[in-house]
Structure 1
Amino acid sequence: MNLNKPKAHIIDYFFILALFCVFTASALVVVLIGVNVYQSTITNMNENYTSRTSLTYVTQKIRQNDAIGDVSVGVVNEASALILEKNYNDIPYCTYIYTFNGELKELFIKKGQAFSPGDGESIMAVQNFAISRISEHLIKLETTDSKGTTLETFVSLACND
């Protein structure tokens, strides 16, 4: 018989169990906070992707076609459109970039040929996209994301019309 053995009290077991529960709850709270931060980061990245990519795409199209008389702003289906004109084998062609049914579209056809706004190739979904001519050398591009945040950029033309 061992008389020096300390007696175990039920309080000791409850203390260890309570400490384990606090640790588990803390770990769960940290994981839940991490999930929330991750979801909001992904949502913001997706919205920025749509807004910024659409602006960058149209800006690059303008820069690629920046020549005298080749860049203009018009209207397709009551929406502003970017019209890029080029001659291929002495035949004039137009590239129209416009919005239709919540999508940014691009259509490449012979100049003067009739078309339907649905004929264009879908580039990406956008909430709103507007193109306007500010001056002879300046085009304004504006897009609105799903939260209603508007981003805009200005593109300076190197060539005159």
Structure 2
Amino acid sequence: MNKRSHIQTLMFLTLFLVFVMGSFFVMTSEIQVYQNIHESIALQDRLMTPLAYLNTRLKSCDQKEAVELVTIEETLCLKMEEDQHVTYIYYFEGYLRELYAVKDYMPSLDEGEKLFKLDDFKMSNQDQLYHFSVQIGQQSEQISVYMHS
């Protein structure tokens, strides 16, 4: 082999190495972008799921005077009455919790089932319009639900 073919082979290998390294850097940056998008979607899902759950629960209990906000052990609770049972939804010790009880039973807040881990949860109502706000980290979402009955 002559000197010229060695130079051509070396140039070809150098170009191939540049191509491989460029492809590697493009792939690593695309992986990072994908991970960021995935984390953003997962956080949005963790924020919206408790709000969707509350919306569904309220709509399933849309009867006259069946839903109200009450205070139990200095904690604001959403109280939903159905026949002989009462459901309480409240924020306690970092979790949105739900507690089913018979109407005559006064529950303790630590008895509730943990539904969603949240950093903060707020609820309020004005007439028949209920406002809910959840926060995880620095992100927050809110929803308002109007009770028709």
Length-normalised TM-score, structure 2: 0.89
Report what 1:87 is aligned to. Answer: 83
- For the residues of structure 2 that align with 1:79 and 1:18, how far apart are their CA atoms? 69
Contact 1:76 1:98 survives alignment (8 Å): no
Report what 1:139 is aligned to. Answer: 130
Displacement after TM superposition at 1:39 (Å): 1.1
Displacement after TM superposition at 1:78 (Å): 3.7
Amino acid at match of 1:156: Y
Report what 1:41 is aligned to. Answer: 37
Point out the more displaced range, 39-48 or 79-88: 79-88
- For the residues of structure 1 that align with 2:103 and 2:92, how far apart are their CA atoms? 20
Displacement after TM superposition at 1:61 (Å): 0.7
SS of the equivalent of 1:99 reads strand
Compare the two structures and name the one with the higher helix fraction: 2
Contact 1:94 1:109 survives alignment (8 Å): yes
Aligned 1:4-43 pairs, distance under 5 A: 8-43=4-39
Q: Deviations over 1:49-91 (max 9, x none)?
A: 1110100100111111111111001234544321101223xxx
Q: Does 2:50 align with 1:54? A: yes
Aligned residues between the structures: 149
| Match for residue 66 of structure 2 among 63, 67, 70 | 70
Displacement after TM superposition at 1:9 (Å): 4.6
- For the residues of structure 2 that align with 1:31 and 1:77, how far apart are their CA atoms? 54
Report what 2:108 is aligned to. Answer: 116
Displacement after TM superposition at 1:150 (Å): 1.9
Report what 1:156 is aligned to. Answer: 146
Q: Does 2:95 align with 1:103? A: yes
Query: Which consecutive unaligned segments of at least 5 residues does structure 2 have?
Result: none
SS of the equivalent of 2:64 reads coil
Larger RCO (alpha carbons 8 Å, 6+ apart)? 1
Amino acid at match of 1:140: H
Length-normalised TM-score, structure 1: 0.83
- For the residues of structure 2 that align with 1:42 and 1:80, how far apart are their CA atoms? 34
